[in-house]
């Protein structure tokens, strides 16, 4: 499971600035998709040597108004879910009583704390750090979030504390023989959309009884099952399978656990509620799924009990609000009655195969040549961008690396065109495709 880091500190010390800097890949991805709202609290950090989930916590204050209360709750939740707490302080403001209070709180949690001093530009590291030693939190890391100073050092410290974050993307280290591999499936959605009902239906009733017996594998989070000769592993970090009451579902819902399940999966099934339509929380989850690059199947649940007109409205609402998920197959189902459920796993399997497909360089290059012939790249400073060949640089999602001259000048719109061209021509249904460029001189 991917590690979780919580960003804590007083308001105004630069937490969101640091959050944005560390999760910047997300900005690029989100900018790419109109209609996608950005979640400013949860983010993925994907650096070459540091991979984790980051939570921003608003800010901790002594004030007692309802806003501060809300932030305190958010911080408590984040602390609860974190493997490491990054405690950010303001090097310009110096050590304030509120910092000491937070330090006391964090020392009592019993989880590792990394002290980080922000706003250090133009100052000497040792000087900025000196007064903060008194908090007894060890050697601080000195950074400037706005200027990017010390960020690499910070990431190194983080990886040292969390060495298990290093071997990232289980998917990439998977054996090439896919015959005996199992499809890792995460089922996600906001509370009450029908995830547990669906999971129980997919896994089969006996299975649920067996797993719920006291003293058995109650806490197992990887649940293998077989369907039509295909092996699946259902990833249940969020406790979806065990829920019995609706109130329990609301209590247990955790974005972090959802994200961990997404990260550990090959294919994500996003469940939405047809009777309520797409709401902002669905969009946040969709955004986080998009950023993960995982293959996706959409299950529009509670399709029962809707009039024809309502169904038409719901279908168009989904298309309109989730345009960035058009690569995903959408199923209209009733987990309660079972209609449509049988076909879901077919799409999961298809998406999995597309996401992990092997495509030879010769084939990719031919498709690239066809794409260019159909629609040549634009001129940049009077010269045409030249693409030479394409090779597969990764899977789940497939990453197509295109080599050539001035490739970095490729406009977004043309990159999108190429992504779509590769996806449709190679029939990569259910997975995003990423096109990246390399310029060779």
Q: Say whether residue 146 binds ligand GDP (CB under 6 A).
A: yes
Q: Note every long-range contact of 41-49, with CB atoms under 8 Å and residues 24 or more positions apart, other chains counting.
A: 41/74, 41/255, 42/255, 42/256, 42/259, 42/288, 43/19, 43/291, 44/259, 44/263, 44/288, 44/291, 44/292, 45/5, 45/155, 47/22, 47/155, 49/155, 49/156, 49/159, 49/166
Q: Which of 95, 88, 133, 145 is nearest to 114 (CA)?
A: 88
In the complex with ligand GDP, the residue whose CB is nearer, 240 or 385, is: 240
Q: Please tell me whether 120 is known to bind a ligand.
A: yes
Is residue 399 within 8 Å of 393, Cβ to Cβ?
A: yes
Q: Using the minimum distance from each CB to ligand GDP, give the nearer residue, 154 or 401.
A: 154
Cα–Cα distance for residue pair 58/54, rounded to 1 Å: 13
Contact between 260 and ligand GDP by CB under 6 A: the answer reads: no
Strand partners, 113: 85
Among 23, 51, 74, 118, binds ligand GDP (CB under 6 A): 118
Residue from 27, 123, 304, 310 touching ligand GDP (CB under 6 A): that is 304
Q: What share of the chain is helix, strand, coil (3-state, %, to 5)?
A: 40, 20, 35
The reply on whether position 59 binds ligand GDP by CB under 6 A is: yes
For residue 356, give Cα distances in angstroms to 288, 336, 423: 20, 32, 13
44: phi then psi, degrees, rounded to nearest 5: -95, 135
| CB of 141 vs ligand GDP, minimal distance in Å | 13
Comparing CB distances to ligand GDP, the nearer of 283 and 428 is: 283
Taking the least distance from each CB to ligand GDP, the nearer of 119 and 395 is: 119
Judged by CB under 6 A, which of 4, 5, 6, 13 binds ligand GDP?
13
The residue from 3, 6, 15, 154 that contacts ligand GDP (CB under 6 A) is 15
Contacts of 86 (CB under 8 A, 6+ apart): 5, 6, 7, 8, 113, 114, 116, 158
Say if residue 370 carries a ligand binding annotation: no
108 labeled part of a ligand binding site: no
Q: Which residues contact 149 (CB under 8 A, 6 or more apart)?
A: 120, 121, 143
Q: Is 17 in the site for ligand GDP (CB under 6 A)?
A: yes
Known binding residue 212? Answer is no
Task: Give the helix ranges, DSSP H, for 375-411.
Answer: none
Of 63-71, 194-202, 228-236, 414-422, the segment contacting ligand GDP by CB under 6 A is 194-202
> Of the two residues 13 and 22, which places its CB atom closer to ligand GDP in the complex?
13
Of the candidate spans 6-14, 173-181, 291-299, 385-393, the one that interacts with ligand GDP by CB under 6 A turns out to be 6-14
Is 14 marked as a binding-site residue? yes
CB of 123 to ligand GDP, least distance (A): 10
Using rule CB under 6 A, residue 140 touches ligand GDP: no
Applying the rule CB under 6 A, the residues between 310 and 369 that interact with ligand GDP are: 334-336
What lies within 8 Å, CB to CB, of 364 at 6+ separation is 389, 390, 391, 392, 400, 422
Report the residue from 2, 184, 241, 302 that binds ligand GDP according to the rule CB under 6 A: 302
Q: Is 121 assigned to a binding site?
A: yes
User: Which parts are annotated binding residues for GTP?
Assistant: 9-16, 56-60, 118-121, 189-196, 236-240, 301-304
Q: Name the site residues for ligand GDP (rule: CB under 6 A).
A: 9, 11-17, 59, 118-119, 121, 144-146, 189, 191-197, 240, 243, 246, 249, 301-302, 304-305, 334-336
């Amino acid at each position: 499971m991917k590690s979780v880091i919580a960003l804590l500190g007083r308001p105004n010390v630069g937490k969101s600035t640091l959050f944005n800097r560390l999760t910047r890949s997300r900005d690029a991805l989100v900018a790419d998709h109109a209609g996608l709202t950005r979640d400013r609290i949860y983010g993925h950090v994907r650096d070459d040597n540091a991979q984790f989930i980051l939570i921003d916590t608003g800010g901790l204050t002594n004030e007692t108004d309802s806003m501060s209360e809300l932030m305190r709750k958010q911080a408590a939740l984040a602390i609860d879910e974190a493997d490491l707490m990054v405690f950010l302080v303001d090097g310009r403001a110096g050590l304030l009583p509120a910092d000491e209070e937070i330090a006391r709180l964090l020392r009592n949690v019993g989880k590792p704390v990394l002290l980080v001093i922000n706003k250090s530009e133009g100052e000497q590291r040792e000087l900025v750090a000196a007064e903060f030693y008194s908090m007894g939190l060890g050697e601080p890391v000195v950074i400037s979030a706005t200027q990017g100073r010390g960020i690499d050092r910070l990431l190194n410290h983080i990886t040292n504390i969390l060495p298990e974050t290093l071997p990232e993307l289980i998917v990439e280290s998977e054996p090439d023989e896919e015959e005996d591999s199992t499809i890792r499936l995460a089922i996600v959605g906001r509370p009450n959309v029908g995830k547990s009902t669906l999971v129980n239906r997919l896994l089969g009733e006996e299975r649920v009884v067996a797993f719920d017996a006291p003293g058995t594998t109650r806490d197992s989070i990887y649940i293998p099952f077989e369907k039509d000769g295909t092996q699946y592993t259902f990833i249940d970090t969020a406790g979806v399978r065990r829920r019995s009451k609706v109130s329990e579902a609301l209590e247990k819902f955790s974005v972090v656990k959802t994200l961990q399940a997404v990260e550990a999966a090959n294919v994500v099934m996003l469940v939405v509620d047809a009777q309520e339509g797409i709401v902002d929380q669905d969009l946040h989850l969709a955004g986080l799924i998009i950023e993960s690059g995982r293959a996706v199947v959409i299950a529009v649940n509670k399709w029962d009990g809707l009039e024809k007109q309502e169904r038409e409205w719901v279908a168009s609402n989904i298309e309109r609000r989730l345009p960035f998920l058009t690569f995903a197959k959408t199923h209209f189902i009733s987990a309660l009655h079972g209609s449509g459920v049988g076909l879901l796993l077919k799409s999961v399997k298809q998406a999995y195969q597309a996401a992990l497909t092997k495509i030879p360089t010769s084939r990719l290059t031919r498709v690239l040549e066809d794409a260019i012939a159909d629609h040549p790249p634009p001129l940049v400073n009077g010269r045409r961008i030249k693409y030479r060949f394409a090779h597969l640089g990764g899977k789940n999602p497939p990453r197509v690396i295109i080599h050539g001259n001035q490739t970095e000048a490729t406009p977004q719109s043309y990159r999108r065109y190429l992504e779509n061209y590769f996806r449709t021509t190679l029939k990569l249904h259910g997975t995003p495709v990423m096109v990246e460029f390399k310029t060779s001189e």
